[in-house]
């Protein structure tokens, strides 16, 4: 994998001049960010993320290179699809330096440990199944201990302060406006008298979001490695003249939901992600209270019921200078914590969480996980979905196949902890809180560069989206772009790089329709296979009953049946409006 070298008369290695980039993750998929840079005799990774969902099957979870050969790692931000394999990297022999912003290091201290706990829990569950089937137990990808150990290798730097990594390699973090501590990374590489500047976008933030700054404008670089998550989509066309106006609008929408729900005597249940989205919701709730948007309510009891979210909120509260936007900093100057208010209660223990569902007074419950797949939120849904007085508010994307997706898509019934729950609560979504720039925002980000890039590598997008956006950069901005494959490598000194065909909408549409028809055919066949697999698992469970497995399997079978029934109900009829 690595470039070979010879030795001089003293036995010292003689490296050939090289400046290579190799793409090992988020290539024509969305997650698992991992890019290798080789400059002279140094090798560094930009991000080392964990592939998730479908991407895991495409990329795999194992590291693409020997960790002992990596000298440095630079992280764009703390989300697990950008950092989730860092503990594995250290576990398998990495002994270099991991560079990040201070806030990213702080967030990694809890997020990587949480990921390690999930790895251990899933391995334990799979091992129990394997042992009952006469098979070997499995080892987790890494453990909580590995996550804690990885923190020993972190070194943090503030925004806009260049630092030298090694001879001929300099880096700078620039505020990306995606989440607390998120950054673009500018790498300046020098080798053999030649210099190249690289710009890694990480995830480019949306504008007018609570708490954090808008994405920074950058001068440009020779090569840009940029995301394309929303490269084929636009956010709802709501324009705000200022961030303050946007925040007040979001807060007012949430206030209306709370007022209507409390008037009926119900609870507002908000499934949310522990890091980022939770803190934005707290900011909006504090705004509602501060601006007295609910004059008829003397108080709004709010419960943050997620230990990880509580720890993340503490990290947000102490990472203010250099990370929060002007609106948030103005509150801090007045002695106001933007995330905390008198009627907010942090519930840490399981007993405190259980007690919430015995309350008679209306309240707002914020709990993880955001897609309702695990954690305390499932208990709160069990106690509120059947109540027509209550409201469930979704604040983020719900992936296909998740409980959150079933509820948001209009399922009439779900199974929670082996119990069938009729959905009578109001189900709604709080729009306008996406942390990603849409297609217009991505194009504007590139257009704002005064130094136009020689070439753009498009990553972090589904294959169709990445290919489309690479072509769009050519047709709209007349820039050379390419969506690399996994494992594809390029010499940045030679600059002989492939270029995407300019985007032609009808061709993309035809290809998309062909792909969709093929997917429909495969999925139709796969439904029978899933049914057979679930029935086989059920027969095994009947032979060696285990309460936990029976409960998991019952939930899965019930959800599968209800999702099929929901789909049938939505698509049946003589004529459909597509």
Name the residue with higher pLDDT: 575 or 61.
61
DSSP 414: E
Does residue 146 register a pLDDT over 60?
yes
- The domain spans of the chain are 14-234+436-493, 243-429, 506-567
Q: pLDDT class for 11, splitting at 50, 70, 90?
A: low
pLDDT of residue 6: 45
**Which pLDDT score, from 0 to 100, does residue 163 have?**
97
Q: Is the pLDDT assigned to residue 305 strictly greater than 80?
A: yes
* Nearest to 307, CA basis, from 262, 347, 345, 343: 347
Tokens representing residue 38 in the block: 């080789």
Domain 14-234+436-493 in this protein, CATH class? alpha beta
521 contacts: CB under 8 Å, gap ≥ 6: none
Q: What average pLDDT does range 285-301 have in this prediction?
A: 90
Cβ(205)–Cβ(232) under 8 Å?
A: no
Strand partners, 123: none
pLDDT digits (tens, 9 = 90+) for 450-459: 999 999 999 9
248: three-class secondary structure by DSSP: helix
| Cα gap 223→208, rounded to integer Å | 28
- What is the reported pLDDT for 238? 67
Q: How does pLDDT run across 72-119, given as a tens digit for each residue?
A: 999 999 998 899 999 999 999 999 999 999 999 999 999 999 889 889
* Percent of the chain's residues with pLDDT above 90: 51
Which residues have C-beta within 8 Å of that of residue 224, sequence separation ≥ 6? 198, 199, 201, 446, 453, 455, 456, 457
DSSP single-letter state for residue 373: S
N- to C-terminal Cα distance for the chain?
A: 48
**Mean pLDDT score, 380-400:** 88
User: Which whole number is the average pLDDT over 523-539?
Assistant: 83
The helix (H) or strand (E) run that includes residue 458 is strand 455-459
pLDDT tens digits, one per residue of 478-528: 999 999 999 999 999 986 899 888 765 555 566 667 777 887 887 777 788
Q: Which residue has the higher pLDDT, 365 or 4?
A: 365
Mean pLDDT confidence for 125-137: 88
* Cα 201 → chain centroid: 15
Cα 201 to Cα 362, 379, 406, 450, 464: the distances in Å are 43, 38, 33, 16, 20
pLDDT of 63 strictly over 70 = yes
**207-220: string of b/e by CB count within 10 Å (b at 16+)?**
ebbbbbbbbbebeb
| Cβ–Cβ under 8 Å, residues 306 and 273 | no
With a cut of 90, say whether residue 477 has pLDDT above it. Answer: yes
Main-chain phi, psi angles of 227, to 5 degrees: -75, 160
Cα gap 308→348, rounded to integer Å: 9
Mean pLDDT over the full length of the chain: 87
Contacts of 139 (CB under 8 A, 6+ apart): 123
pTM beyond 0.75: the answer is yes
Element (H, E) at 195: strand 194-200
What pLDDT does 324 receive? 78
Integer Cα distance of 296 and 261 in angstroms: 13
Asked if pLDDT for residue 211 goes beyond 90, the answer is no
Q: What is the torsion angle, in degrees rounded to the nearest 10, for the CA atoms of residue 340, residue 215, residue 277 and residue 101?
A: -80
- Closest by CA to 26, choosing from 259, 174, 227, is 227
DSSP state of 153: G
CA distances from 520 to 474, 528, 556, 566 (A): 31, 13, 22, 17
Cα dihedral 149/155/160/163 (nearest 10)? -140
Whether 344 shows a pLDDT value over 80: the answer reads: yes
Asked if the model's pLDDT at residue 122 lies above 80, the reply is yes
392, exposed or middle or buried, with CB in 10 Å at 0-12, 13-18, 19+? buried
Name the phi and psi angles at 291, rounded to 5: -95, 5
9 falls in which pLDDT band (50, 70, 90)?
low
Binned at pLDDT 50, 70 and 90, residue 574 comes out as very low
Query: Which ranges constitute the DSSP H helices of 293-409?
Result: 307-318, 326-333, 350-356, 377-384, 403-408
CA distance 472 to 226: 13
The answer to whether 77 and 108 are in contact (CB under 8 A) is: no
CA distances from 551 to 129, 417, 545 (A): 14, 6, 10
pLDDT, residue 145, reads 97
With beta carbons less than 8 A apart as the criterion, state whether 465 and 500 touch: no
- The pLDDT of residue 139: 93
Pairing of strands 13-14, 6-7: antiparallel
Residue with tokens 């901005």: 477
pLDDT at residue 573 in the model:
52
The partner residues of 393 in beta bridges, in order of sequence, read: 428
H or E stretch covering 186 = strand 183-191
- Dihedral (Cα; 321, 327, 332, 335), 10-degree rounding: 170
**Computed from CA positions of residues 445, 447, 448, 454, in that sequence, does the dihedral angle turn out positive or negative?**
positive
Strand partners of residue 113: none
Residue 223 near residue 21, CB atoms below 8 Å: yes
Residue 142's pLDDT band (cuts 50, 70, 90): very high
Sequence-separated (6 or more) residues with CB below 8 Å from residue 250: 210, 284, 430, 432, 433
pLDDT on residue 85 = 96
* Secondary structure (3-state) at 17: coil
Whether the upstream peptide bond of residue 369 has omega within 30° of 0, thus cis, is: yes
Radius of gyration of the chain (CA): 25
If you average pLDDT over residues 175-204, what whole number do you get?
Answer: 95
Higher pLDDT, 233 or 485: 485
Identify the helix (H) or strand (E) that includes residue 303.
strand 302-305
Angstrom distance (rounded) from CA 530 to CA 511: 27
Does domain 243-429 fall under CATH 3.40.50.300? My reply is: no
Cα dihedral: 20, 21, 22, 25 (round 10): 160
């Amino acid at each position: 994998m690595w470039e070979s070298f010879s030795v001089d008369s003293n036995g010292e290695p003689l490296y050939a001049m090289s400046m290579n980039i190799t793409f090992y993750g988020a290539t024509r998929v969305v997650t698992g960010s991992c890019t290798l840079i080789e400059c002279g005799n140094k090798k560094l990774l930009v991000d080392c993320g964990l592939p998730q969902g479908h991407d895991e099957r495409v990329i795999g979870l194992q590291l693409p290179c020997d960790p002992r050969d990596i000298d440095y790692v630079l992280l764009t931000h703390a989300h697990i699809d950008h950092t989730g394999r860092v503990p594995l990297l250290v576990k398998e022999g990495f002994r270099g330096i991991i560079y990040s912003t201070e806030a990213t290091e702080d967030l990694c201290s809890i997020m990587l440990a949480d990921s390690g706990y999930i790895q251990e829990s899933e391995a334990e569950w799979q091992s129990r199944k394997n042992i009952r089937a006469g098979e070997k137990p499995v080892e987790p990808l890494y453990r909580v201990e590995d996550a804690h150990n990885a923190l020993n290798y972190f070194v943090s730097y503030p925004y806009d302060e260049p630092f030298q990594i090694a001879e001929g390699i300099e880096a700078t973090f620039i505020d990306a406006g995606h989440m607390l501590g998120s950054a673009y990374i500018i790498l300046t590489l020098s080798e053999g008298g030649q210099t190249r500047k690289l710009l890694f976008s990480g995830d480019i933030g949306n504008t007018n979001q609570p708490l954090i700054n808008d994405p920074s404008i950058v001068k440009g670089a020779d090569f840009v490695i940029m995301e394309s998550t929303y490269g084929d989509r636009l956010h709802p066309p709501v324009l705000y003249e200022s961030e303050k106006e946007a925040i007040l609008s979001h807060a007012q929408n949430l206030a209306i939901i709370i007022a209507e729900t409390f008037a009926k005597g119900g609870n507002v249940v908000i499934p949310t992600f522990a890091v980022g989205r939770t803190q934005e919701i707290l900011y909006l709730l504090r705004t509602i209270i501060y601006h007295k948007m609910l004059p008829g309510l003397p108080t709004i009891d709010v419960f943050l019921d997620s230990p990880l979210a509580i720890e993340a909120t503490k990290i947000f509260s102490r990472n203010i200078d250099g990370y929060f936007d002007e609106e948030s900093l103005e509150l801090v100057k007045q002695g106001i914590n933007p995330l905390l208010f008198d009627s907010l209660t942090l519930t840490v223990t399981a007993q405190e969480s259980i007690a919430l569902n015995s309350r008679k007074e209306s309240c707002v419950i914020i709990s993880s996980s955001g897609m309702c797949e695990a954690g305390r939120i499932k208990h709160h849904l069990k106690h509120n979905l059947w109540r027509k007085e209550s409201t469930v508010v979704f604040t983020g994307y719900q992936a296909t196949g998740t409980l959150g997706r079933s509820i948001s898509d209009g399922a009439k019934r779900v199974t929670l902890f082996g119990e069938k729950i009729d959905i009578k609560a109001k189900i709604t979504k709080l729009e306008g809180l996406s942390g990603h720039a849409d297609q217009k925002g991505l194009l504007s980000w590139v257009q704002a560069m005064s130094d136009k890039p020689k070439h753009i590598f498009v990553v972090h997008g589904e294959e169709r989206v990445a290919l489309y956006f690479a072509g769009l950069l050519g047709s709209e901005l007349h820039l050379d772009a390419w969506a690399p494959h996994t494992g594809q490598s390029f010499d940045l000194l030679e600059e002989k790089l492939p270029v995407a065909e300019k985007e032609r909408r009808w061709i993309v549409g035809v290809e998309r329709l062909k792909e969709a028809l093929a997917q429909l055919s495969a999925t139709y066949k796969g439904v029978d296979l899933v049914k057979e697999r679930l029935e086989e698992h059920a027969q095994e469970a009947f032979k060696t009953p285990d309460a936990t497995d029976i409960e998991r399997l019952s939930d899965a079978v019930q959800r599968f049946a209800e999702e099929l029934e929901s789909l049938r109900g939505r698509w049946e009829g003589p004529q459909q409006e597509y």
